[in-house]
């Protein structure tokens, strides 16, 4: 995205995706503007009048249609940029580069962490989760959440909220938990719960709709001390919502949930428990792959708007 500066500042702003496109440019104010995703797509530092600046918003541009962004600054010396109501030719521009006709377009996951950095640097906040080198699923490292009753969790905000998300978590239970505990949570950007993947004290997986408080439990426990791969699909689309589970490649239709999850998109991924009182010991590696995309279609060049 290209923006033309009209008032300089040492802080050009933090730019995030805005899931709500219902605002109107002729009536929106700072107080009425809808909130953006918590994750920052890109930022600008020093900006000066008369110059164009580019902000990388690639993760938010997934197809045709309207896309909105929010710019914020913590500086009292705010920057200003031209809008469509400003000088002709200086309105914001979205520059899109299309793939060549027939070229394959690979799917890109929105988040992944095999913990090969050896730390928790990819997570926004965490407590009670450490990265260890012993016995990972792959590579050299894995996260381990060990708790005797204290919170043990980590979360990260997605760069762009998703109406539909496939999330894969590889996990190993080192011992059965004393109570039902959480392996994975999917939440809105504001932190409201949407769905959970739990494991009972007998090692059975549970899919849970956090909005309607409906939960379903698998019949067979997972093996202690062995790595397993769980994948859940979450679609937050009102009465058409879906929560589905696969374990080691096998889909469990009996625990899939079709109850409404509301329409607020998924904006945060969390592993582990943020509440106290859970006793558990498990290792994790996680990612959020996107479903396969079709090949790129040839389209006429788009004019910036």
Tens digit of pLDDT at every position of the chain (305 positions):
999 999 999 999 999 999 888 898 889 988 999 888 888 899 999 999 999 999 999 888 878 889 999 999 888 898 999 999 889 999 999 999 888 888 887 666 788 899 999 999 999 999 999 999 988 998 999 999 999 889 999 999 998 898 999 999 999 999 888 889 999 999 998 899 999 999 999 999 999 999 999 999 999 899 999 999 999 999 999 999 999 999 999 999 989 888 899 999 999 999 998 888 888 899 998 877 544 333 333 333 333 33
Q: Of the candidates 155, 223, 149, which has an alpha carbon nearest to the alpha carbon of residue 184?
A: 155
Q: Which two tokens stand for residue 256?
A: 């899939």
Phi, psi of 238 (to 5 degrees): 60, -130
Q: Is the CB of residue 273 less than 8 Å from the CB of residue 153?
A: yes
pLDDT at 141: 93
- pTM, two decimals, is 0.76
Phi, psi of 267 (to 5 degrees): -125, 0
Kindly list the strands in the beta sheet with 193-199, ordered across the sheet, starting from the edge strand earlier in the chain.
125-127, 152-162, 266-273, 181-187, 193-199, 205-209, 214-217
> Which domains does the chain carry?
2-81 (no CATH), 111-288 (2.60.120.200)
E-strand stretches of 8-163 = 13-18, 42-44, 52-54, 68-72, 80-81, 111-113, 125-127, 129-132, 142-148, 152-162
Q: SS3 of 85, please? A: coil
């Amino acid at each position: 995205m290209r923006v033309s500066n009209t008032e300089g500042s040492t802080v050009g702003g933090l730019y995030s995706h805005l899931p709500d496109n219902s605002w109107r440019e002729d009536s929106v104010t700072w107080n009425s503007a809808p909130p953006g995703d918590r994750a920052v797509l890109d930022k600008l530092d020093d900006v000066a009048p008369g110059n164009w600046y580019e902000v990388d918003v690639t993760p938010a541009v997934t197809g045709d249609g309207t896309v909105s962004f929010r710019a914020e600054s913590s500086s009292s010396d705010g920057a200003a940029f031209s809008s469509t109501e400003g000088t002709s030719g200086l309105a914001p521009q979205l520059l899109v580069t299309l793939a060549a006709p027939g070229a394959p377009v690979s799917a890109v996951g929105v988040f992944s962490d095999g913990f090969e950095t050896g730390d928790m640097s990819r997570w926004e906040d965490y407590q009670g989760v450490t990265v260890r080198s012993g016995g990972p699923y792959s590579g050299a490292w894995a996260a381990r959440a060990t708790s005797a009753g204290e919170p043990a969790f980590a979360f990260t905000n997605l760069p762009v909220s998703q109406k539909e998300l496939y999330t894969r978590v590889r996990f190993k239970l080192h011992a059965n938990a004393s109570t039902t505990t959480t392996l994975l949570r999917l939440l809105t950007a504001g932190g409201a719960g949407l769905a959970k993947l739990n494991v009972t004290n007998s090692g059975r997986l549970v899919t849970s709709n956090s909005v309607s408080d409906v939960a379903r439990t698998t019949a067979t426990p997972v093996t202690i001390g062995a790595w397993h791969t769980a994948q859940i699909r979450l679609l937050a689309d009102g009465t058409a919502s879906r929560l589905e589970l696969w374990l080691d490649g096998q889909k469990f239709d009996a625990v899939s949930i079709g109850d409404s999850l509301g329409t607020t998109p998924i904006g945060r991924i969390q592993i582990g428990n943020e509440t106290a009182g859970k006793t558990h010991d498990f290792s994790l590696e996680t990612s959020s792959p996107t479903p396969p995309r079709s090949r790129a279609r040839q389209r006429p060049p788009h004019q910036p708007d």
